[in-house]
Homo-oligomer: A and B are copies of this chain.
């Protein structure tokens, strides 16, 4: 009998695969199974020794799993699977539809409380770590402004748009924070900035044989809604470079709180992420919080919770005295 924390994954796409990888980096946790709506024999895990089960059978495993990590999408999977699975498991999800967070909270809270389970929602980096940093910023520096910048990150919708331009063979679009805007914020100016002023758009394009670069560039930078209102940079590269350098899913961003204390002293708190793989990083956050969920549930906590409710030290496999010795 292992005393590792028994974790299972519901939904096996990019995020689920990231959770499988992250669990392998945490020796106090064990992946006991993956649940999928696909035919289990068609689902190939990184570790062939881990069993894949049909999502329809998931209820039967309620005594064999300490924490279920939900890796479906926020639009239709999580609103349905979350409340259902909260009846049987302690759960962690990455629900990120901002406008519906309190609705999702309520939908999880009732079944989780009834079942004596804990359901942690909206875990990841935004929402998640960025939310925590916005909270610390506005609370510690109560006179000030908070700024969130996203990127460098791959934008799926804008990449699709550039690929529809005539003459484009392959294309990808990244959203980057504007260095000029960040410098103004760091300098304590507390500027008013629109999303557009905070970001620039960067495209990498492989041209069709015989296509004219200047024509393609003009079509992109003048495209309404997508690019016309932004500073847009268009780079032309060959297909081999495209495949080598532009196939990963980078992302990241900045949360900056610029405030004033005392008789006008400027104070700046800056948090930033530079992520080589967005789904693998989000998965690593989910796994650390799955450990905390297991400990909180052990302390008798039930119902829906967010990262704002979790004592940070519970994320660590170390005991509290060791953490104090190592980190304070």
Contact = CB atoms under 8 A, between A and B. Distances in A.
Interface of A: 18, 21-22, 25-26, 98, 101-102, 105, 122, 127, 129, 131-132, 134-136, 138-143, 186, 248, 261-263, 265-277, 280-281, 283-285, 288, 291, 306-313, 315-317, 320-321, 323-328
A217 to B, nearest CB: 31
Contact of A306 (B127, B272, B306, B324): B324
Contact of A101 (B131, B283, B324): B324
Contacts of A281: 140, 261, 267
Contacts of A98: 328
Contacts of A101: 324-325, 328
A168 B34 CA distance: 70
B140 A284 contact: yes
B262 A142 contact: no
A291 to B, nearest CB: 8
A107 to B, nearest CB: 13
A266 B276 contact: yes
Given A134-B327, A139-B288, A268-B273, A280 B261 contact: yes
